[in-house]
Structure 1
């Protein structure tokens, strides 16, 4: 005979209270029912305030209260983890802003760096959780679309609140339901092209990597927006030396000389992602006899160090600090709902608009 729902839910509540937490799949196996049934039971228990529901897990209300007064060894107070790739200066402002927001909320933000190697993010996440992180801000490297797809299962199965930072999962993926905050890079491309075309430039080249989700968005938007503006002819995508190949430090055989491309296409302007690359490429243009902005106007993308070169570069400036604060805000929302035993509701996907900082590297077409 099938066990009544109320009796089964009481058993679930007892199991969760005795263990502190339990995975939905494990409860389903023990009770001999489907995962869907247990998930519905946990939702009902959470609604009644008897357990807390997380991503694929049910938690007791008691450990949550204890955790606030007895933190893990080496941890001061409630801690949230932030996992970012190594050598990623773009995220520095986001990290600092998230840290300040966490401190205002009485939380400690612990930073974990994922090395540039296979499965590094998963290892860093495990380290953060072992150190007592109650929630995660996560910016996976995702150098290729396949790499992002391989992260579907383990990201979806994390049993703490997660917010993706400067990343947005593909629609239909198992972790599309995660909260995320990113800059609207399509709008960033729009700002760059609008500025250059207002100066009379009609042939514009993109110089960009293809080893990050941001770079791939910029490439796709550049192609679409230049075509829509009627300036697509001669707008060639240039791949810089570091790509998503087996060895990210190896030279890319597809890389093209920017000065030669400008001359070959008759382009008078270029958008370069990122501004770290822009500083290098502007120097190479000068060595090749191409003066900026006299012969070629340059817009950099990211605005991390764009104003620090010999020529201060006009740059698209994503709202890096605001992204960090918004991501921490979404994580706090999930943590607050978890403390109250409430399901946080619909996931949030936020996009914040970049700005454009005009400096010395752009000028009217001569």
Structure 2
């Protein structure tokens, strides 16, 4: 969703409609309806996570433990957003979760506020696709492929990588939206999404709004008098904090309190559990992984790798993709002499554990680990 006109100079009280984020600017897609911002799915990891806990507060507390083995970055550097149930009838405890770098989220929020859209929900643009009953729903636009899976998760990759990703995923049933898919993809059905942008955005917001916790939408601007009062209260609070001191002791108290809350949570969800050892490991072991099988790391790893290689999309031609033992191998055609080094730099910049090696004939093999 990147077509439209350049951001008009709208006064903040009148900013509305559906907007898409492209680079460092916002582009309006539809002027109808409440303000909504579509963010690139390449920057968001979508996971289906089992959280068999009785209320939202407890699910949020357990969420970092539940996804820790599915992300390579430190949890502290990530923003986690809890969405709707992915299958209320078949798996009532499974929820859609969005994972974004906290720095990236802060940049998006600052850009939204600068354009008078500080209260607008933010959703990954892949969630605008209609969710298929099985397989993948695919929309290709401007050399970019959006893929929404039947389990509610999704990803975005360069269109040139779609066929290889489809093969590596076991050839799921394809439902093409809009323009036909190129190549030898076995498309089950081709249909158009007749919903307008506002209706699609409304469904996407219900599935997952990234504006949560520290990045929750802010209320409308207050008057200057209230703002002045806020400054006074803020300065007073800061003075009390400086006087009080004891930061280290306070952090320890908070950590102990969180541990006690987690133990109480586990005692309710799993009575009789031994909590005398490593609390973090115990809680992680209690969380189900979907039928006893290891979490599916292929799609998240492929999405991360595709996002990292996006700046080199015109230089990389993929022959085949394989995924074995948590390692994704991508074989590419020969390119410019320094292509392997540029790919290695892209992997490092994307914080992906992997390497790129060139064979004598110039072909390049990329390996990336999900561990």
TM interval, short-chain normalised: under 0.3
TM-score, normalised to structure 2's length? 0.25
TM-score, normalised to structure 1's length? 0.25
- Which has the greater radius of gyration? 1
Which of the two has greater strand per residue?
2
